[in-house]
Amino acid sequence: MTSSTPTLEPIGQDGREICFQTHGDPGAEPLLLVMGFTAQMISWPLGMIEALVDRGFFVIAYDNRDAGLSAKTQGDMPDAATLLARAREGEDVSGEVPYTLVDMAADGFGVLDHLGITTAHVVGASMGGMIVQEMAINHPERLRSVTSIMSTTGNPEVGEADPEAMTALLTPPPAEREAIIENMVKVNQIIGGSLWNEELARARSIEAYERSFYPTGAAFQLAAIAASGDRTEELGSTSVPFLVLHGRQDALIKMSGALATADAVPGADLVVLDAMGHDLPEPLWPQITDAIAGIAHRTYPQGSGLKR
């Protein structure tokens, strides 16, 4: 597999610098990977990317704003926890945040524009699933297919996390390198499923820390989630081939989030993996990549893959 050197380029109308990397043949079908809350593009396992390339895709991954090597938002951190609580009570807090998920979706389109790609398949994990949902709502003409993995609609009544998982994710990290890495491993274990692998989790945590440790980004990204509201009604007008993929063991975004997403999108497929948590475990890569290729290449009729 041929991969480009990670590139940091001004993207979109505001010229925000976004770091991205490509994998495979540029003449193949473009597929954009959008990672989740505070996670870097290296959180997409390279073996899974290789499998997608083997299935006929030109894979593009990038760091969301306020994560990895992409641009960091200037100014005071928002009180994200308060914004999230108010949003869950039905308040509109969109005017109180630097950006929303719609803006983050525009970053993804900006990467495609920079590469001269008009339409693409998009795959998002967790917050990335929320971002690709916004892409489908606002610019369906640019999408060939959508895969929303371990995500939800924004409706506060579905997908609610286990308290332990939410606490682990939102607790400020320690100050020292070794303690930070140990904490990252612990969080991964709490939200991961029964296929969680400590050795791999530790190696990936070290890699992520060494590449970019930026806990400040969490407040900005969480504020964006809080301000973006419930997408259920808007998803009802989505006509793009749409796959919802979720793990039955997911403690961070419960199965109800996946069910609500699949119910909201007309004709959406839902694939549930029993041994998957809020992670992408290696033993399930063949099933995950087969499902992505299935919705993209129409190797099964839309609406036929449901498993509840």
List domains and CATH numbers for the chain: 7-161+216-297 (3.40.50.1820)
Average pLDDT, the chain: 93
Share of the chain above pLDDT 70, in %: 97
| Nearest-angstrom CA–CA distance, 308 and 248 | 10
Residue 265 falls in which region: left (phi positive, over 0), alpha (psi -120 to 50) or beta: beta
Which residues, 6 or more positions from 197, have their beta carbon under 8 angstroms from its beta carbon? 281, 282
* 99: DSSP letter: -
Q: Sorting pLDDT into bands at 50, 70 and 90, what band is 95?
A: confident
Q: Sorting pLDDT into bands at 50, 70 and 90, what band is 14?
A: confident
Among residues 173, 217, 223, which one has the least CA distance to residue 65?
217
| Model pLDDT, residue 85 | 83
Alpha-carbon distance values, 292 to 19, 231, 287 (Å): 24, 22, 9
| Nearest-angstrom CA–CA distance, 113 and 294 | 25
Whether residue 304 has pLDDT greater than 90: no
Tokens of 69: 């090597």
Whether residue 106 has pLDDT greater than 50: yes
Q: What is the mean pLDDT of residues 298-307?
A: 46
Whether residue 136 has pLDDT greater than 60: yes
What single string gives the DSSP state of each residue in 174-198? Answer: -SSHHHHHHHHHHHHHHHS-TT--H
Whether residue 303 has pLDDT greater than 60: no
| Model pLDDT, residue 83 | 86
| Nearest-angstrom CA–CA distance, 134 and 73 | 21
Q: Burial code of 214-239, b = ≥16 C-beta within 10 A, e = fewer?
A: eeebbbbbbbbbbbbbbbbebbeebe
